[in-house]
Amino acid sequence: MNTPLGGLRVIELSGTIAGAFTTGLFADFGAEVIRLEPEQGVALRSAPAYPFLARGTKSVIADIRTPDGSARARALLAQAVIFVTTLADATTDAAGLDEASLRTINPRLIYTSIGGFPHTGPYAGVKGYEAVIMARTGFMAAFRDALYPPRPGFVESPYATFGAAQLAIHGTLAALLEREKSGVGQRVDTNLVHGAAVHDTWNWFLVMIANRFPDAFKRSTAFDAEGTPSTGLGFSLLPMLTKDGVWVAPTQFLARLFPAYLKALGLGEIFTDPEWGMPLMLDKPAKRKELHTLIVERVREKTLAEWRQVCDEDRNVWLETFTVGKGVLDHPQFLHDKTPVTINDPERGDVRQPGPMIILREKPAAIGTPAPTLGEHEATLPTRQTSMTSLIGDPSRTNAPLEGVTILDLGTMFAGPFGATLLADLGARVWKIEAVTGDPIRTAVAFPEAGAVKVMQGKESIALDLTKPEGMAIIHELAKRADLCMVSFRPDVARRHGFDEHTLRALNPNLVYVYAPGYAAEGPYSERPGLAPTIGAAAGVARRNLAGSLPAGTDLTNDEVKIYGRRIFGANTVVSAQSDGFGALGVGTALLLGLVARERLGVGQAIESSMIRTNMHAMGEDAVDYEGREPLESADDELRGHDALYRIYDTSEGQLFLAAPKPREWAPLASVLGLEPDDRFADPAGRKTHDHELASELQSKLRTARPRNGRQHCSPWVSRA
């Protein structure tokens, strides 16, 4: 009970990445996680990142397709607190593991189900592959600028999977808190569609407005037809190449940052020169093109080392480099924090991997147990089970699970404040503190308040001048009354204005103080601006979405720099899904974990949930290193997919995404498409050997296909990209 979730038994019936992301956090913070596996083990065991995804868990053989396996699962679930499954309802129902049946033997059980598509509705039976969700929900189309010429592209980063896992964690922890009040458990449902959609806080709103009022508003794109940024966002965040051939990601979006960036480039006079018509002469294509060229040229005048010196001299200028894979673990901030951990795995030796996603100052994570061998814990399971403190409650409660919880939101822009919004959706009261001019998120997008439409949802706004004593007096009074406080400003800002953790927790020792910066509370990058493109570069998001490739070198022409810069921007800075979304999900998890820890252990504490840590965990399949590690599957150079059976294809009316990666899916696919028998494709090995020919054959069949909006075409595994 010295860890936030110590004493809680969690049973996982999954074997998928979404399930592992969910129960992995529970295991890191002390829960006893038992994964039920068939005799041959779950598919997760073949994943290169298995040592990370399964660390701290236990393995028990229980094949629920057999009477004995189902009975064993029921016996374990009778003494469990949480059940996490990614199986279809039909599968768990057939094994007698449906919610109603389990409720008769364990009324306090929290039943958490993670689907691909929602359990009900027209897509309930569709295979829940990550890429199918990304295609069907429009995210592949949103990443079109990652290709040149632009078109829908395969997306590698697990936006839907990681999002669904974090939403499952949120729902489960909220249900755990609710169980203490009502005395009973409940079902928590989420899916990969919701996991993807949670990233999009305003793009959906702009599309809706443009479609609803076409005569009043028109939609714009990030780049014009010639590849020039058409918005201020593009100029301030567009990746650039240094003199020594290193790609860097600027993070200059906010009002105080972009002028500092242009000044560092020797272009500060633009803001006072009427010829430019700033801000950013959006209605002057020729001037925008000229500025694009000037920025490319000026960045290429200095090496990375020289630019780092500029950044050291002005903390409002920051250019982050791009990493990928195990290189993420060597980021200077992570090395300072001792973030990477090394765990000795009995089968693989020393495995270097990400440490905990969230830092709790007083009741930290307990990481150290390696991923289990198959059936390792058959004879060692404890028979006793503890849960939270109370064993009784009011089962007639109909309140929202977080009703009565108050959050003081001292964040700005997107990641931190949207994390608080996620708890407002669960019933928490959120006091959002803003400057008298409003949070910058309100004006981040040209359409009034579009950027704030979700970030501010369900909150109470209080506008204060924090430069005046009266403003800080109000903050301090609110902190005394709050359960949780979330702060996302850089450390020196919080200290200077008197809302740092030491000040507020001295006023309210029971307060859970969640610090949610871009980088960290202290260390070499703690005062650096941490916006989504910067964090996406540092944590490997951009390069993963580009299949690891990043054309670089000193011999690229300026025109090539513009093209590749646009592609990197398109892979890293999509409004619908980028590193802010990952960060916000992590903040929501940190807030709830801190609240659960306080209720179970009786202590408030300081917690850190940085964007870069959360993004590292989202990229956790990459950031694992051990001798002999196999690489992840990666998209081809055209960003169409992994292979012929998990790939984007062209049709007469756009693109389709085809997903039939499992051997049992080949026969129905061949039948639906009318493929003639062919010895080259007769078995999985042949299809792998002749993948290029198979892709050509499928393309010829699908070229004349006509995707139908709102429905799948050809088979349950084909979705419009």
DSSP 636: -
Q: End-to-end CA distance of the chain, in Å? A: 48
Q: Enumerate residues 6+ apart whose C-beta is below 8 A from 355.
A: 338, 339, 340, 341, 365, 367
Query: Is residue 285 reached through a cis peptide bond, with omega within 30 degrees of 0 on the bond before it?
Result: no
- Strands 484-487 and 406-410 turn out to be parallel
Q: Enumerate residues 6+ apart whose C-beta is below 8 A from 664.
A: none
Show the CA angle centred on residue 329, arms to residues 327 and 335, nearest 5°: 125
DSSP 369: P
Structure tokens at 653: 């009316």
For the 641-720 domain, the top CATH level (class) is alpha beta
User: pLDDT of 618-646, one tens digit each?
Assistant: 999 999 999 999 999 999 989 999 999 99
Residue 351: what residue type?
V
Cα dist. 188→93, 160, 278, 440 in Å? Answer: 16, 17, 50, 34
Cα dist. 393→28, 180, 427, 599 in Å? Answer: 29, 6, 19, 15
* pLDDT in the model for residue 390: 46
Residues of the chain with pLDDT under 70: 1, 277-282, 382-393, 705-721
* pLDDT in the model for residue 133: 95
Tokens 């989504």 correspond to what residue? 532
* pLDDT in the model for residue 713: 38
Domain range list for the chain: 641-720
Predicted TM-score of the model (pTM):
0.95
Tokens 């020039």 correspond to what residue? 228
Tokens 């995707």 correspond to what residue? 707
What's the rounded Cα separation, in Å, for the pair 380 and 376?
Answer: 8
Transcribe 520-587 into DSSP letters.
-SSSTTTTS---HHHHHHHHTHHHHHTTT-----TT--HHHHHHHHHHHHHHH--TTSSHHHHHHHHH
* pLDDT in the model for residue 207: 85
* pLDDT in the model for residue 551: 81
Helix, coil or strand: residue 518: coil
For the chain, the average pLDDT equals 91
* pLDDT in the model for residue 464: 96
* pLDDT in the model for residue 474: 97
* pLDDT in the model for residue 134: 95
H helical segments located in 225-377: 232-237, 257-264, 285-299, 304-313, 332-337
**Rg for the chain, CA atoms, rounded:** 26
